[in-house]
Chains A and B, each alone.
Chain A
Amino acid sequence: MHLPDGIVPVDMALAGYAASAGLVALALHRIKALPDPQAEIPRVAMLTTVFFAASLIAVPVPPASVHLMLAGLMGVMLGWFALPAIMVGLFLQAMLFGHGGITALGLNGLILGAPALLAFGLWRQIGGRWPDVAAFLAGSGAVLAALALFAAIVLAGLPAVIDAGAERMALLVLIAAHLPLALAEGVIVMTLLRVLRRVEPRLVPHG
């Protein structure tokens, strides 16, 4: 679910770059304040690869197919590091696979970065008390938030010549096709964190 080039007007694409740049600047500021930011780099590097490669995995959901997003996983596992990691992953996806446009990179960063931050906030709030519930809600909630942002941006940028009714209907079908993915990503995040708690508790993020 990446916006390609030419789908939204130029001014919206520029606004997307500005919003993403603001979020990344905030994230870098928070990262700088951490006691040992370098300690997180191995985890960031590996999860960026997972995020980058996940867009190649298409899950058939008739009548369409959907791609894994993993914004919730990135938010929970990486915290503030999720934003620069997602931007790097999206840039590589756009350059190497043509998934998403370079002009729409800012908007795509916003569509996946903001839900990742929401997932991070949710995990910090209730992850300590109810880790399974928090992980599931972070994973599935991030997909739903990304869907809502994607649909809002597409509808706001519809050109006048387009049949708006047909586009709204197509968006509804797209959202319906992604609902099983929201469930699946919730289960993925919950299972992964449960395995990490048992196998390598040091890797479990504590907020």
Chain B
Amino acid sequence: MSQCFRRVAATAFAAGLCAPLSAFSHAALIEAETAQAIRLHALYDTGEPMSHAQVIIYAPDDPSTPWGQGVTDRDGRLEFVLGNEPGRWSFQVRQSGHGAMVHMEIGADAPVIMTASSAQGWGQRLLMVALVAWGALGTAAFVYRRKGGRNASA
């Protein structure tokens, strides 16, 4: 009886080893590692976020073919992890014909350097408008004076 039981147990054990082979193909393998993520924040120059804007990422070795794509969230933010390739990565954010290109220099073992246009302050903008207005008014005054001189001499 005990010998019979041992045979049954040994057969069941052997069957148990073989039977789950197909089930192993559905097993999940998970690897976790730390990586440096890029956090993009896209805004219009009025300060409003570029919500749901499309982002196209270009790798250093091929600046014409997109390496990856994404969409910003409601606040104009997008986070992603780049490949390990060092060099100048480019990101284009665009929405309804508006947008901008940002470039990032990523060194082999150096920190990320970001280059992007920054918004100008109101003081700087007003100064520029004033300078252009001054030029235009000067042009107008010059022409008026010249015409006045011509009329006076005539």
Which A residues form the contact surface with B (CB < 8 A)?
Answer: 1, 3-7, 38-39, 41-43, 45-46, 48-49, 52-53, 56, 58, 64-65, 92, 96-99, 150-151, 153-154, 159, 161-163, 166-167, 170-171, 173-174
Contact = CB atoms under 8 A, between A and B. Distances in A.
B97 A49 contact: no
B6 interface: no
Contacts, number: 95
A49 B94 CA distance: 29
Given A4-B100, A6-B92, A161 B137 contact: no
Given A49-B137, A52-B132, A170-B95, 19 more contacts: A7-B94, A7-B99, A38-B143, A41-B139, A41-B140, A41-B143, A45-B136, A49-B129, A49-B133, A53-B129, A53-B132, A56-B129, A65-B44, A65-B48, A162-B56, A162-B94, A163-B54, A166-B52, A171-B96
Most B CB contacts (10 A, CB to CB) among A1, A49, A64 go to A49
A42 B99 CA distance: 35
The DSSP consensus for interface residues of chain B is mixed
Nearest to A155: B97
A127 B63 CA distance: 52
17 contacts: A6-B100, A38-B143, A38-B146, A41-B139, A42-B139, A46-B136, A52-B129, A65-B48, A92-B132, A96-B132, A97-B125, A97-B128, A150-B97, A154-B97, A161-B66, A170-B96, A171-B97
B62 interface: no
Interface of B: 44-46, 48, 52, 54, 56, 66, 69, 71, 92, 94-101, 117, 120, 125, 128-129, 132-133, 135-137, 139-141, 143-144, 146-147
The DSSP consensus for interface residues of chain A is helix
A88 B47 CA distance: 27
Given A97-B120, A167-B54, A173-B96, A38 B48 contact: no
Contacts of B97: 1, 3, 7, 150-151, 153-154, 171, 174
